[in-house]
Structure 1
């Protein structure tokens, strides 16, 4: 099937809409490099759009009616937005689900040490990464430290021109003979991803220290942030690439940034929620954590958070029962908004071109993901795909279908199969990305805009 490049249908002011949407997304990506930063920003925007805190609704005993908008915050790292539809919730919902965590380096709980008169932080990589890609780059420090008295200290170091950056050193080429003879997954070991944070000892005349460079780093943390070494025990600090999202290509048609996977789907998902009013079915935007490590934990998709919030919303709407919650979930339809692998001309051998996603050809539907014999995948029903094709065509949304590489080449998964456990109709639908899981990924502006338009059509017409 021949799918025309989506840019072709945009001319003049219509093309400006694509570019304007991309600017908003770039600002979001540049400001939101952790799950907590994403949740904080989205809640701020949601409140401006008239969304109320579900906890406040529950506390006051307020009632929800069609058209009302609420959000539920899960520990500051996951979020659900609801807009109550005209039909009772037990008729089902229209759900956009994405994840807001991305591959990165996390500080260990006892990270700081000194070696060779250099101070370093030990890290533990998060998600599937090629470890050699994460060295010799300017990196930023994002996260929170929670002290014993409950005080929360936010860290964001390395994103402003005047900020220092940190980074991981690599062996110079002149001494790399043995290193370069190793397999790619062994060139940089996990325990070698140690972040350089200082090389200056405490000033002469101060108390003599066995580890004077480490002592200087601790002195700076104390003076600047009121952080003691023991406070790392109750901290979540992420090391991420420093710098803003940038236009990519001489034609500025793409965006190079950290965190496209999967904020490139999260952003158009919640923006689509803001543009759909008075839906027939209750609209939901579900943004979760921990997808990159199996959707585990209280803020991952495998938790009961979403199910519990559906029950709370139904109760506030005066229509709760356990049976109705089960019906609401099983009768729902969902787009699992996650990225797909874009065809890379440098590595054509891993793709089967008739079933690959291409930059510029619109939002991508993956009927199934998984690995080898579709292991670990959600395989969407043909009837559901047929309905989606009609909605996309009726709304002139450019879309393509794809698999994640050749059969037996590799594979991957999303949150789709977890929601399918409720017996709802689910399919993966997202944006094609180059350099997936690398510090800097690439996506097409027009694909992001087509995802936004497709998500609106889904909420409105499915």
Structure 2
């Protein structure tokens, strides 16, 4: 029987108060595992590589689009798309034509600094060699100055060799840094700029080195005995070549990035928050994959085919063959259905997509108490109160939104059960806005898509914050979704 108090939502309900010590310990242990994963999963290629290792350890088999290998009920499989996008799944016991599929999609790219194609720049008068960058995704540029940076990525060489670069993860490695201006002298150069221009894009240049080599070969026109000039750039490139065998010309055929070199740490005396670069959207990628691994560990096949997709390029609009706008998701799901026991092809695919439910697993904005005015508190997420559920995203007049149908919301309500969730919006109606992969997947598949992810503080900064309980509950929610 419904009582009068049941008619109202309790905004003061804190899930943590309902956990006993054993449950709290379990939540913290899961958070520790996530932190360990973040240490060596700092950018898309690295994240996909780490996930592949996790999948293969649990018996998932790699398949290729258009392959011949059959997929039977309970089979666990994965696809890799250009080393920066991945899909993994388990074949369900019912035909997708009759029941559809359960798909969770997140993204593994993060805001970072890409190196320019010709990045090395000598500032001999200043005694420095700098690396020019082009920022990727939405950032506050000033946040990237005066913090340690790691150099990561791959370089192709003339013979076709692809060399992985990682400078910074080893404690004995050097790091890199974008130098800021001291407050004593910033008045003319920085203080009158807007916040968006405290650092301009072309000023995001990181120090690569500071010691010169000595010129050994005399050049034409130089007098005998003339004092040798220091060669900074040549010396630094020699050091890079000695470590990786790459030349300056190779850098034009490279995919290199600076990522924030800040180790994941617990925040607060209660250790309730996890601070780290790349929660957006590493936290949803990790929890959705871990949930799929748990389905596999439980033994029995899910009722509906369960699939987890990790996309690239979300931070720049989801374009390209590895983004959510690409046909990869459709080709992959059709490939799974065609080679599965049920052999769904032709018009049966239309019925399968129509019945498929997708969760767009991306983070949401938690209320920042320092700037709470940009939120409608009654319709905003709070860290520690549960997983965020956004029926619609977009900006202002819901421009660019997917806006899940109410029947999908009803279905999700049954799936969530007692798992803590928060129905939320990104911010006040006219305060800004944002989007996820939801609308792209909904458009390409004609399926229901709902945004469900972890609330984040300091989003898109080099050190984002999530609550350890929300991380755990996201995994539990994705698990329930795969299994329901």
Give TM-score scaled by structure 1 length. Answer: 0.96
> Of residues 437, 440, 444 in structure 1, which corresponds to 2:467?
444
Q: Show the counterpart of 1:98.
A: 106
Q: Helix, strand or coil for the counterpart of 1:408?
A: coil
After TM superposition, the structure 1 stretch with the greater mean CA deviation from structure 2, 155-164 or 286-295, is 155-164
How far apart in 2 are the matches of 1:339 and 1:211?
Answer: 49
Asked if residue 429 in structure 1 is aligned to residue 452 in structure 2, the reply is yes
> Of residues 60, 63, 69 in structure 2, which corresponds to 1:54?
63
Q: Show the counterpart of 1:83.
A: 90
Name structure 1 gaps, 5 residues minimum: none
After TM superposition, the structure 1 stretch with the greater mean CA deviation from structure 2, 98-107 or 168-177, is 168-177
Q: Show the counterpart of 1:108.
A: 116
Q: Show the counterpart of 1:357.
A: 381
Q: Show the counterpart of 2:4.
A: none
Please state how far the C-alpha of 1:399 moved relative to its aligned partner. 0.6
How far apart in 2 are the matches of 1:227 and 1:233?
Answer: 11
Q: Show the counterpart of 1:43.
A: 52
Please state how far the C-alpha of 1:323 moved relative to its aligned partner. 2.0
Q: Could you give the per-residue CA deviations for residues 105-158 of structure 1, whole angstroms, max 9, x where no partner exists?
A: 000110001013310110000000011111010111111111122211111111
Asked if residue 260 in structure 1 is aligned to residue 262 in structure 2, the reply is no
> Of residues 442, 459, 462 in structure 1, which corresponds to 2:482?
459
Q: Could you give the per-residue CA deviations for residues 222-255 of structure 1, whole angstroms, max 9, x where no partner exists?
A: 1111010011111111101113211111110010
Please state how far the C-alpha of 1:320 moved relative to its aligned partner. 4.2
Please state how far the C-alpha of 1:159 moved relative to its aligned partner. 1.9
Q: Show the counterpart of 2:225.
A: none
Q: Show the counterpart of 2:73.
A: 66
CA contact (8 A) 2:72 2:91 kept: yes
Asked if residue 8 in structure 1 is aligned to residue 24 in structure 2, the reply is no
Asked if residue 375 in structure 1 is aligned to residue 399 in structure 2, the reply is yes
Please state how far the C-alpha of 1:180 moved relative to its aligned partner. 1.2
Q: Show the counterpart of 1:144.
A: 154
> Of residues 182, 192, 198 in structure 2, which corresponds to 1:181?
192
CA contact (8 A) 2:96 2:344 kept: no
Q: Could you give the per-residue CA deviations for residues 239-273 of structure 1, whole angstroms, max 9, x where no partner exists?
A: 01113211111110010000000011111000001
CA contact (8 A) 1:295 1:415 kept: yes
Asked if residue 275 in structure 1 is aligned to residue 275 in structure 2, the reply is no
CA contact (8 A) 2:262 2:463 kept: no
How far apart in 2 are the matches of 1:150 and 1:243?
Answer: 33
Which structure 2 residues correspond to residues 10-409 of structure 1 after superposition, within 5 A?
10-55=19-64, 59=67, 61-91=68-98, 92-115=100-123, 116=125, 117-178=127-188, 179-203=190-214, 205=216, 212-276=231-295, 277-317=300-340, 319-393=343-417, 396-409=418-431
How far apart in 2 are the matches of 1:371 and 1:36?
Answer: 31
Greater CA radius of gyration, 1 or 2? 2
Specify whether residues 324 and 147 from structure 1 end up closer, same or farther in structure 2 by C-alpha distance, changes over 3 A only.
Answer: farther
Q: Could you give the per-residue CA deviations for residues 51-92 of structure 1, whole angstroms, max 9, x where no partner exists?
A: 10112x965x32111100110000000000021001112231
How far apart in 1 are the matches of 2:350 and 2:458?
Answer: 39
Specify whether residues 233 and 204 from structure 1 end up closer, same or farther in structure 2 by C-alpha distance, changes over 3 A only.
Answer: closer
CA contact (8 A) 1:6 1:447 kept: no
Q: Helix, strand or coil for the counterpart of 1:108?
A: strand
CA contact (8 A) 1:30 1:243 kept: no
Please state how far the C-alpha of 1:328 moved relative to its aligned partner. 2.2
How far apart in 1 are the matches of 2:229 and 2:283?
Answer: 47
Name structure 2 gaps, 5 residues minimum: 1-8, 220-227
Q: Helix, strand or coil for the counterpart of 2:389?
A: strand
How far apart in 2 are the matches of 1:250 and 1:160?
Answer: 28
CA contact (8 A) 2:415 2:481 kept: yes
How far apart in 1 are the matches of 2:239 and 2:304?
Answer: 53
Specify whether residues 278 and 222 from structure 1 end up closer, same or farther in structure 2 by C-alpha distance, changes over 3 A only.
Answer: same
Asked if residue 414 in structure 1 is aligned to residue 422 in structure 2, the reply is no
Q: Helix, strand or coil for the counterpart of 1:173?
A: coil
CA contact (8 A) 1:370 1:376 kept: yes
Give TM-score scaled by structure 2 length. Answer: 0.92
Q: Helix, strand or coil for the counterpart of 2:86?
A: strand
What count of residue pairs does the alignment treat as equivalent?
Answer: 457
CA contact (8 A) 1:359 1:443 kept: yes
Q: CA-atom RMSD, angstroms?
A: 1.5
How far apart in 2 are the matches of 1:385 and 1:58?
Answer: 35
How far apart in 2 are the matches of 1:211 and 1:460?
Answer: 65
CA contact (8 A) 2:215 2:231 kept: no
Q: Could you give the per-residue CA deviations for residues 272-315 of structure 1, whole angstroms, max 9, x where no partner exists?
A: 01112411100000100000000001111111111111122122
How far apart in 2 are the matches of 1:381 and 1:265?
Answer: 23
